[in-house]
Amino acid sequence: EPEVTQTPSHQVTQMGQEVILRCVPISNHLYFYWYRQILGQKVEFLVSFYNNEISEKSEIFDDQFSVERPDGSNFTLKIRSTKLEDSAMYFCASRTQGAGEQFFGPGTRLTVL
């Protein structure tokens, strides 16, 4: 069964460093999402992406964040200069159409020291 994959599963970085989180959505899906979840808290929407551009972003998704689809399969989230409060689980999700089930990847745990 097709699934969304994410790498790495855990990333440890120093404050101020850049990190890139990678996702491979399900191949025929067109809509892609990034979410973050601080430990023990709610899942927060960061950004949605369709047709090679950002379609929506939340107030959390400031200039420190960027997303890219560098090739036909990968979907990346870059944090330019990490802060302690960026420590969280980051989930990628994809779906085939604008309304419908989102398929989540297993997440990347980001720890900023």
Partner 1 sequence: QQPVQSPQAVILREGEDAVINCSSSKALYSVHWYRQKHGEAPVFLMILLKGGEQKGHDKISASFNEKKQQSSLYLTASQLSYSGTYFCGTEGTGNQFYFGTGTSLTVIP
Q: How far is the CB of 31 from partner 1 (least distance, A)?
A: 7
CB of 16 to partner 1, least distance (A): 28
| Residues in touch with partner 1 (CB under 8 A) | 31, 33, 35, 42-45, 48, 50, 55-58, 91, 98-107
Of 17 and 69, nearer to partner 1 (C-beta) is 69
How many residues are there in the chain? 113
Closest alpha carbon to 92 in 12, 13, 39, 29 = 29
CB of 27 to partner 1, least distance (A): 19
Separation between Cα atoms, residue 60 and residue 17, nearest integer Å: 18
Tokens for 12, please give them. Answer: 């440890």
